[in-house]
Amino acid sequence: MSLLIRNGRIVTAVDDYLGDLLVDGERIALIGQSLDVTADRVLDAAGRLVIPGGIDPHTHFDMPFGGTMSSDDFETGTRAAAFGGTTTIIDFANQPRGRSPLEGLDTWHAKAAGKASIDYGFHMILTDMPAERLPELERLAQEGVTSYKLFMAYPGVLYADDATLYRAFRQAGENGTMVSMHAENGIVIDEIVKLAKAEGKLAPRWHAHTRPTRMEAEAVNRAIAIAEVADVPLYIVHLASADALEPIRWARARGIDVMAETCPQYLLLDDSVYDRPDFEGAKWVMTPALRDKSNQDSLWRGLALGDIFAIATDHCPFNMKDQKVLGREDFTRIPNGAPGVENRMALIYSAGVLGGRITLNQFVQLTSTSAARTFGMFPRKGTIAVGSDADIVIFNPDRKETISVTRPHTHHMNVDYSAYEGFEVQGWPEIVLSRGQVIVEDGQWYGQAGAGRFIKRARYGDLLRAEPRSDRVRSEGRQSGLAAR
Ligand code: URP
Ligand code: ZN
Ligand code: ZN
C-alpha cells in the first residue's frame, strides 16, 4: 500500500517547507516537490501542516494506584492518543516491590499485547534495587527498556531512598542507560500532610498546600547531585515549578547531563482549580500538584530556551464517579493523576505556537523529536525523513475546537471528565498515520487494537549529551542513537 501526501507544509524540529511525501508500506519512501509518482491513495494536504506523529513519553495505562486502576487501558488509551495526534507512547511498567523488574515487564507486555493500536515502549519503575538485582538492569536494557523511573515521593508505596537511587543510578550509567526521576521530597511532604490532617484539613485543596514547590526543587537538586556523582544522564519528569527549574538551569550551565519534561497541565492550569466547590478540585489532584499561575511563564521560558526538553502528559486518569470519590473525606485517598494524552498536541500548538511562546519547529521538537532522541527511537520515530516510520499527522492549523467531555469528537479517553473542559484551541490533528496506515480521518477511527508494536529502544545516544563528557563517560555498552529494530 502506498500513499502520496501532496502540497503539505512539512515541518520537523529543524525544517519547514512545502512538499510532497510518498509513503510506501510502513515507511517514508520519498520527499520532494511535485513528485512525479503514482500511489494507491493521494491525500491533498494544502493548507495543512505535515508533522511527525506526537510522542508522549509519560503515560500510565492500566496502572494500579491508590487502591484502584487508571481508567484507560492500552486499547482506550492508545486510541485516544491517536485521535489527539500522538502515534507513540512510552508507558511505565512497575517492578513489583521485592520482586524482579523483569516480572513487571512481562506484566506490562501482557497489558499492551492485542490492545495497543499505536507503537509503544516501556520505562521501568524501580521500587527497590538491592545489589543482587543490579544485573537485571542490563537484562532490561537488552529487552529494549533503556530508561528507569525512580520516586523520591510516595513513601511506603513507590518511594526509593537515596542509597537505592545511587545504586540504581550507578548501574544505569554503567549500562549506558538513563534514569528519570519523580522529584519531590516525599518524606518532608508526608510530615506536612500529617500536620494538615491533624488540623482537619481534608479537602482536595490541601493536596496542593501540602506539597510546596521548595520540596520539588530540593529533590531535583539532590537527584542532580546523585546523578552527577553516579555518572548517569538524568531526566526529570513532570517538572511543575519555577523553583524546580532553577537547579536544572544551573546544572545544565555546568555541563551536567540533566534534562526535564513538563506537561500541559503545568503550563495551562493553576492551583485555583482546587478551590472549586463540591469536591471538583479532585479532578486535578495529581503529583506534583498544580502550582500558582506565576510559575507558568518560567516554564514556557524554560521550553523556549531549551532548559526543558520535552512536553509529556503524565496521563493517569481516574473517573470522578467511582475513583476520585475514594478521597471524598480525605484528600490523601484521592487517586493521583489526571487525563490528557488526547489533548497535548492541540493545546501546545494553540497556547505555545499561536500564543507566541515557542516556534513551530520547537513545537515538533518538544512534542515528538526530543522524546525520540532522548529515549532511543530516533530517527525511526520523531521526524519526517526518508526511511523513518510513516507516523505522520496532517494537522489543520486553522481549525478551532472546544475541548469538552460532552463533545465526543474531542474526547475519546475512558474517563468521565476533561481536565481541559471548555478550553478553546486552534489547530487540530485531522489525519493520523501509524506506520503508513491511516488510523484517524475526519473524526473516524480506522485503527486496530493490537496493531501497535513494542519498540525496543536503544541506549542513550551519543548525540544527546549536553556536551562531550570525555573522561567522565564510560563508553562501553553505549550504542548510537538508532533504535534496534
Ligand atoms: O499524579 C500523578 N502524577 N500520577 C501518576 C504517577 C506519577 O507520579 O507520575
Ligand atoms: Zn511521577
Ligand atoms: Zn507519571
Cα 482 to averaged position of ligand 3 atoms, centre (Å): 26
Atom 8 (ligand 1) nearest CA: 287
Atom 9 (ligand 1) nearest CA: 314
Cα 316 to averaged position of ligand 2 atoms, centre (Å): 10
Domains defined for the chain, CATH in brackets: 1-378+387-485 (3.20.20.140)
- Using most ligand atoms within 8 A of CB, pick from 65, 159, 236, 287 the residue to mutate for ligand 1: 287
Secondary structure letter of residue 28 according to DSSP: E
Contacts of 200 (CB under 8 A, 6+ apart): none
What H or E segment, with its residue span, contains residue 163? helix 162-174
Atom 7 (ligand 1) nearest CA: 287
At residue 337's C-alpha, the angle toward residues 57 and 250, to 5°, is 55
The span from the CA of 451 to the CA of 440, in Å, is 14
> Which atom of ligand 1 sits closest to the CA of residue 92?
9
Q: Which residues line ligand 1 (CB under 6 A)?
A: 60, 182, 286-287, 314, 316, 336-337
Task: Identify whether the C-beta of residue 309 lies closer than 8 Å to the C-beta of residue 260.
Answer: yes
Cell of 449: 487494537
Which pTM was predicted? 0.95
Cell of 54: 506526537
Rounded to the nearest 10°, the torsion over CA 101, 102, 104, 109 is 150
Cα 157 to averaged position of ligand 3 atoms, centre (Å): 14
**Ligand number with the minimum distance to the CA of 181:** 2
> Which atom of ligand 1 sits closest to the CA of residue 237?
9
Helices (H), 210-294: 213-230, 242-253, 264-268
> Which atom of ligand 1 sits closest to the CA of residue 182?
8
List the chain pLDDT tens, one digit each, 485 residues: 999 999 999 999 999 999 999 999 999 999 999 999 999 999 999 999 999 999 999 999 999 999 999 999 999 999 999 999 999 999 999 999 999 999 999 999 999 999 999 999 999 999 999 999 999 999 999 999 999 999 999 999 999 999 999 999 999 999 999 999 999 999 999 999 999 999 999 999 999 999 999 999 999 999 999 999 999 999 999 999 999 999 999 999 999 999 999 999 999 999 999 999 999 999 999 999 999 999 999 999 999 999 999 999 999 999 999 999 999 999 999 999 999 999 999 999 999 999 999 999 999 999 999 999 999 999 999 999 999 999 999 999 999 999 999 999 999 999 999 999 999 999 999 999 999 999 999 999 999 999 999 999 999 954 444 334 433 333 333 333 333 32
Cα 405 to averaged position of ligand 1 atoms, centre (Å): 22
Cα 288 to averaged position of ligand 1 atoms, centre (Å): 8
Atom 2 (ligand 1) nearest CA: 337
Q: What is the 3-state secondary structure (H, E, C) of 134-147?
A: CHHHHHHHHCCCCE
> Which atom of ligand 1 sits closest to the CA of residue 60?
5
